[in-house]
Amino acid sequence: MKKLSLLTLSFILLTSTISFAQLQIGYVDSDAIIEQLPDAQDAQKKIDALVQEWKEEIQKMERDLETKTKDFDKRKLVMSDNKRITIEKELSKLESDIKKYRDSKFGYKGELYSKQEEIMKPIQNRIFTAIAEVADDEELDFIFDKSGDVMFLFANEDYDVTTKVLIKLEQ
- Specify the pTM: 0.67
More confident residue, 18 or 149: 149
* Cβ neighbours of residue 123 closer than 8 Å, sequence gap 6 or more: 34, 37, 39, 40, 43
pLDDT surpassing 80 at residue 8? no
Distance between CA atoms of residues 139 and 141, nearest Å:
7
**Mode of pairing for the β-strands spanning 142-145 and 25-28:** parallel
pLDDT surpassing 90 at residue 95? yes
Distance between CA atoms of residues 13 and 19, nearest Å:
10
pLDDT surpassing 70 at residue 15? no
**Which residues on neighbouring strands pair with residue 145, listed in sequence order?**
28
Average pLDDT, whole number, for the chain?
83
pLDDT at residue number 20: 53
pLDDT at residue number 155: 57
DSSP structure class, residue 160: B
Quickly state the pLDDT bin for 168 (edges 50, 70, 90).
confident
pLDDT at residue number 156: 64
Start-end of H helices in the chain: 2-21, 30-36, 38-75, 81-106, 111-137, 162-170
The residue ranges of every structural domain in the chain are 24-170
